[in-house]
Amino acid sequence: MKAVPERWEPAPVSFLPADSKEIMPMNRIALSFTNKTILAPMVRVGTLPMRLLALDYGADIVYCEELIDIKMLQCKRVVNEILGTVDFVAPNERVVFRTCEREKDRVVFQMGTADAERALAVAKLVEDDVAGIDVNMGCPKEYSTKGGMGAALLSDPDRIESILTTLINGVSKPVTCKIRILSSDEETLRLVKRIEQAGVAAIAVHGRKKEERPQHPVHCDVIKAISEAVSIPVIANGGSHDFVKAYSDLRIFQEATSASSVMVARAAMWNPSVFRKEGLLPLKDVMQEYIKYAVRYDNHYTNTKYCLCQMLREQLENAQGKKLHAAQSLQEICEVFDMSSFFQEASDLLEKKKVSLQVKSPNNDDHTEDTDVIKMAVRFDKREYPPQITPKMYLLEWCRKEKLIQPVYETIERPRDRLFGSVVTVAGQKYSSTLWEKSKKLAEQAAAIACLRTLGLPEGKRDENTNHALLNKRKRPDRELLNCDEHRDSFAVDAVCKKPHFLPKESLCHSS
């Protein structure tokens, strides 16, 4: 059993010595990599907990995981007061990108794109919450290249120039990019010089060709030639397998490539304390600190499990590794690492914050103040229900069985924070949750839960001894095929499951 899809990859990172080149001020704000270590998670690994852990251990600049432009353009920016984060939330309620104030001046947003205008729209969506924008032109995976992104861009210099110049002219934050080397040194140097002329603040170079993999030697000589050919900072990437096992190895790789900094992926994933000048910490301690961040910031358990499996590596077949593979929630992961008490304390604290925010919220726009509404403080958590089962479905089926008019939902959006509340009417009685939600769908599910629990009816949760046969019978035959798992890395899946849709242009730049 695998924790996550195979195409998820680990995270690159970079180190700059004191005498490294400095990034020139670009577009009114300079992003200096001098004396910095960079964590640059390349494909869906560097979520917020991993980035914060890297900062703890000495990283000064962190990259988010590569995020596809089409996916980001469907997102809405939401301020999460409970977690203290800014979330970019997809229509299916999945948090695609989560950041916080602590990393605001240190996190570089890395995107996968093949279109200049889409890239600019995404950059404008996130620029107030990040320190810089990076375009990944080095990913060799099919899900990226078949969309014209990643390493596919390397054969289209005109498109590269269009994307970079559009970003540089259109946003106030520094713009960087990451590439792989081409089939010949001459081709590679021509490309990087053209990228330099576009005006990027820095360029990261993975020292392998697009057909090469980590087991192939990294071409330090080519990175060195690039470093000597351009005046902008060059970030060397690809040394985890051959060079980087501890902090001192970062300098060795930097000297071998004459680069301004070193970007590593797997070494940072295997043990993020690789950034500590004092040396590596015991893996047990590192994993516990990572889990604490994962719980505090509600990181999805599949990604959390994947990162922990990367740290365990050769220990995956021992008793603890097998228990980790079997874990199906953050709570179960905490149990594996003897952190149940921490999980309970953290959960209680988050619940107190939720209640506190509800108490502080003024009631003059609260739809639940009607005296005839039965109210309950409940939320809908998809992880507590089997696939395709929701409280709304159970409520609708109960109404049909009792020959009642189907439930009617009245949902509003609160202007000051763009949260949603819903009231459901069943048999003339109104029901609602007192907790405001980040989407219309979640608010309606919460209202359905309030109704079902008041009436003492099952709502379909995993821990209920409930027969789902009637609900399953009503599904369209192809529903299982068309449904997209909201927690999978989704660019390739979305292309099959649904046509991408875009938010109105004015919504893309909204930052409140």
- For the stretch 312-369, pLDDT in tens is 988 998 999 999 999 999 999 999 999 999 999 999 998 888 777 766 655 445 554 5
Q: Which of 237, 182, 177 is nearest to 209 (CA)?
A: 182
Contact 395, 451 (CB under 8 A): yes
46-73 average pLDDT score: 89
pLDDT at 331: 93
Among 17-21, 29-33, 244-248, the range of highest mean pLDDT: 244-248
* 26 or 484, higher pLDDT: 484
Percent of the chain with pLDDT over 90: 59
* 474 or 23, higher pLDDT: 474
pLDDT at 406: 95
Average pLDDT of the chain, as a whole number: 82
Is-catalytic flag, 139? Answer: yes
pLDDT band at 280 (very low <50, low <70, confident <90, very high): very high
Q: What would the two tokens of residue 29 be?
A: 């704000």
The tens digit of pLDDT for each residue in 177-224 reads 999 999 999 999 999 999 999 999 999 999 999 999 888 999 999 999
Residues 6+ positions from 86 with CB-CB distance below 8 Å: 77, 78, 79, 80, 98, 99, 100, 129
* 254 or 194, higher pLDDT: 194
- Residue tagged 């009231």 (tokens): 423
Q: How far apart are CA 435 and CA 384, in angstroms?
A: 18
pLDDT band at 469 (very low <50, low <70, confident <90, very high): low
Q: Is the pLDDT of residue 433 over 60?
A: yes
Q: Which of 402, 312, 295 is nearest to 349 (CA)?
A: 295
pLDDT band at 92 (very low <50, low <70, confident <90, very high): confident
Residues 6+ positions from 118 with CB-CB distance below 8 Å: 69, 70, 73
Q: How far apart are CA 201 and CA 106, in angstroms?
A: 15
158-169 average pLDDT score: 98
pLDDT at 512: 31
pLDDT at 471: 53
Among 25-39, 137-151, 172-186, 217-231, the least confident range: 25-39
Maximum distance among all Cα pairs of the chain, rounded to whole angstroms: 78
Q: Is the pLDDT of residue 35 over 90?
A: no
pLDDT at 65: 86
pLDDT at 353: 86
One of 64, 75, 100, 139 is an active-site residue; which one?
A: 139
Among 27-36, 90-99, 391-400, 499-508, the range of highest mean pLDDT: 391-400
pLDDT at 466: 61
Q: Is the pLDDT of residue 39 over 90?
A: no
pLDDT at 496: 31
* 370 or 220, higher pLDDT: 220
Q: Is the pLDDT of residue 503 over 60?
A: no
Q: How far apart are CA 414 and CA 358, in angstroms?
A: 13
Q: Which of 216, 1, 25, 217 is nearest to 132 (CA)?
A: 25
